[in-house]
Amino acid sequence: MHDLNDVTPGDQRRAMWLSTFAFTICFAVWMIFSIIGIQIKAQLGLNDTQFGLLIAMPVLSGSLIRVNLGVLTDQIGGRRVFTLVMLCAAVATCLLTYASSYWVFVVAALFVGFACGSFSVGITYVSKWFPTSKQGTALGVFGAGNVGSAVTKLLAPMVMVAYGWTAVAKLWAIGLAVTAVIFYVFTKEDPSQSERRRSGVKPMPFSEQMAPLKNLQVWRFSLYYFFVFGAFVALALWLPRYLIGAYGMDVKTAGVIAACYSIPASLFRIVGGWLSDRYGARVIMYWTFGVSVVCTFILAYPDTQYVVKGIEGDIGFHLAIGVVPFTVLAFVLGFFMSLGKAAVYKHIPVYYPKHVGAVGGVVGMIGGLGGFILPIAFGALNDFIGIWTSCFMLLFLISASSLAWMHFAIRRMERRHHPSLAGETDLPEIIDAMATAGDGAKR
C-alpha cells in the first residue's frame, strides 16, 4: 500500500468530490441516447432493431473499455486518464451533430460510450487517496455519480423540445469539456503516482497487472456486480415498458415510478459504502443477496387464478401483486442493490491493493455488460414464455446463484484458515443422528 502520511484531509475531499462530480457528468452524457435517440430514430426513419443497436452502443463500448482504462490509470495516473476520457467523449458527443448517416451515428455512439469507462478510472484514482478503513465510504460517494442518468432524463427532454436534439448534444459536450478542464486544474496526482515519480520506479508491467484475473474470486465478484449494477441498469431501462404492459399505465406514470426506483438506487450507494466500512462488505453482501432473493421471488410470481374444489363447490382465488406492493418491493430491491454496488467495490482494494485498476475494470466491465445483456434477455423471455414477470424469474436465479456461490466460497475460505471448522456443520444434530444410525446398522 502506498504511503498516505503526506495526504491531507483536504486533498482527500478534493479528489473524492471532484471525481464524483466528473463521473456524474460522464454518466449524464453516457445516457444521452435514451432521450435524443427518439428524435434521431424519427429523423433517420430507423426500425426498432436499428434503434436498439444505436442506443446499445454506448453501453457496450463503455463496458468493454473499462478494463483497459483501469490498467492505464494504474500506469500513468487517474488525473490524466480521467481528463483524456472526458475530452474524447465530449468530442464524440459534439460530432453527433454533424452525422448524416446511420453508421456514422453508430461509430460516434461507440466513442460516446467512453464516458462510462470513467468509472474504472475514478474507482482506481479515488481508492488511492484513502486508507482501507475509509475506502468503502469514499467509493460509495463516487459511485453515487450514477445519478447522472436522472440529470439527463430530467433536463434533456426540456432542451430537446425547445431547441432540438442537436442542442442537447452540443450542451452536454460543452459541459463535459468544461468539467474535464476543471478536474485537471483542481486535482492532484494520486499518492502512488507522486511516490513513483520521486523514486523513479517504473509502472507495473501489463502482464503483472492482469495476473489476478486468473483468480476465480475476481469472476465471483464480477457475478455480484453483474446483478447489483447490471440488473439495476437493466431494470431502470425496462421498468417503464413493464409497467405499461403489466399494469396498463400511461407513459408518464410509468416514467415517474421508474425514476423513483433509479434515483434512490444511485444515491444509497453512499450508505452502502459507509456500512461496508463499519460492518464489513461481506455482511452487506449477505443482506443484499438475501433480500434480493426474497424480493425477486415475490415479484416473479405471475398474476394467477386458482380454483379449489371445495365441499360445497368450487372456491376461486386470485393472487397478484398490485401497483403499490410492486412499487414498494422495487424500491426495496433497488435500495439493497445500491448497498451491494458499494460493497462489491469495497472488496477490491482490500484483496487487490496493487491491482485495483485491472480487477476493478473487469468487475465494472461485467457489470456494464449486464446492463447490455439483461434487457435483451428480458425481451426474449417475454417472447418465449409469454409472462410479464419472467424478467424477475431470471433475476431470482441470478441472485440466488450469487448468494449460494458466495456462501460456499466463504465457508471454504473459513475451513482453509481454520481447519478445526472442517468437521463442523450448520446442523450438527443431523450428523449425530446419521452416526447413531450407522452404529445401529453395524450392530
Q: What is the pLDDT of residue 61?
A: 85
Q: What is the pLDDT of residues 156-192, one digit of tens each?
A: 888 888 888 899 999 999 999 999 999 999 998 888 7
- Residue 269 in any domain: the answer is yes
- Residue 442 in any domain: the answer is no
CA distance 321 to 182: 48
For residue 396, the enclosing domain spans 212-415
Which domain CATH number covers 48?
A: 1.20.1250.20
- Is residue 37 within 8 Å of residue 54, measured between CB atoms? yes
Length in residues, the chain: 443
For residue 292, with 0-12 CB atoms within 10 Å meaning exposed, 13-18 middle and 19 or more buried, which class applies?
buried
- DSSP codes joined into one string, 95-114: HGGG--SHHHHHHHHHHHTH
Q: What is the pLDDT of residue 441?
A: 46
- Is residue 356 within 8 Å of residue 286, measured between CB atoms? no
- Residue 430 in any domain: the answer is no
Q: What is the pLDDT of residue 101?
A: 87
307 beta partners: 316
Residue type (1 letter), 92: A
Q: Report the pLDDT averaged over residues 324-346.
A: 88
Q: In this structure, how many other beta carbons lie within 10 angstroms of the beta carbon of residue 159?
A: 19
Q: Which three cell numbers stand for residue 253?
A: 406514470
**Which residue is associated with the grid cell 478510472?**
121
Share of the chain above pLDDT 90, in %: 19
Q: What is the pLDDT of residue 181?
A: 95
Q: Which three cell numbers stand for residue 12?
A: 482527500
Helices first, then strands: H and E counts in the chain: 21, 2
- Residue 426 in any domain: the answer is no
Q: What are phi and psi of 202, to 5 degrees?
A: -75, 155
Domain boundary among 194, 228, 256: 194
Under the banding of pLDDT at 50, 70 and 90, the label for residue 422 is low
Question: Could you tell me which of 381, 245, 384 has the C-alpha nearest to residue 326?
Answer: 245
If asked whether residues 108 and 241 sit together in one domain, one would say no
Three-state SS for 268?
A: coil
Segment (H or E) for 5: none
If asked whether residues 189 and 267 sit together in one domain, one would say no
Q: What is the pLDDT of residues 351-410, one digit of tens each?
A: 777 777 678 778 888 888 888 888 878 878 888 888 888 889 999 999 999 999 999 888
- Is residue 25 within 8 Å of residue 175, measured between CB atoms? yes
- Residue 425 in any domain: the answer is no
If asked whether residues 183 and 254 sit together in one domain, one would say no
Find how far residue 333's CA is from the centre of its chain.
14
Under the banding of pLDDT at 50, 70 and 90, the label for residue 338 is confident
Q: In this structure, how many other beta carbons lie within 10 angstroms of the beta carbon of residue 104?
A: 13
Query: How many CA atoms lie within 13 Å of 415's alpha carbon, on the beta-carbon side?
Result: 10
pLDDT tops 70 at residue 37: yes
If asked whether residues 242 and 373 sit together in one domain, one would say yes
If asked whether residues 188 and 281 sit together in one domain, one would say no
If asked whether residues 66 and 161 sit together in one domain, one would say yes
Three-state SS for 389?
A: coil
pLDDT tops 70 at residue 52: no
CA distance 191 to 202: 15
Under the banding of pLDDT at 50, 70 and 90, the label for residue 132 is confident
- Residue 287 in any domain: the answer is yes
Who has greater pLDDT, 21 or 353? 21
Terminus-to-terminus CA distance in the chain, angstroms?
61
Three-state SS for 32?
A: coil
Segment (H or E) for 317: strand 313-319
If asked whether residues 160 and 308 sit together in one domain, one would say no
Segment (H or E) for 353: none
Domain boundary among 194, 225, 242: 194
If asked whether residues 154 and 242 sit together in one domain, one would say no
Under the banding of pLDDT at 50, 70 and 90, the label for residue 44 is confident
If asked whether residues 312 and 396 sit together in one domain, one would say yes
Question: Could you tell me which of 371, 367, 369, 360 has the C-alpha nearest to residue 68?
Answer: 360
If asked whether residues 319 and 172 sit together in one domain, one would say no
Q: What is the pLDDT of residue 250?
A: 76
DSSP state of 210: T
Q: What is the pLDDT of residue 421?
A: 47
Calculated CA dihedral for residues 194, 195, 200, 205, nearest 10 degrees:
-90
Looking at the structure of the chain, the number of domains it has is 2
Question: Could you tell me which of 119, 54, 39, 52 has the C-alpha nearest to residue 85?
Answer: 119
Under the banding of pLDDT at 50, 70 and 90, the label for residue 22 is very high
Q: In this structure, how many other beta carbons lie within 10 angstroms of the beta carbon of residue 202?
A: 8
- Residue 431 in any domain: the answer is no
Q: What is the pLDDT of residue 202?
A: 64
Share of the chain above pLDDT 70, in %: 86
- Is residue 274 within 8 Å of residue 139, measured between CB atoms? no
If asked whether residues 159 and 262 sit together in one domain, one would say no
Domain boundary among 126, 161, 194: 194
If asked whether residues 163 and 249 sit together in one domain, one would say no
Q: Which three cell numbers stand for residue 292?
A: 434480493
- Residue 132 in any domain: the answer is yes
CA distance 22 to 14: 12
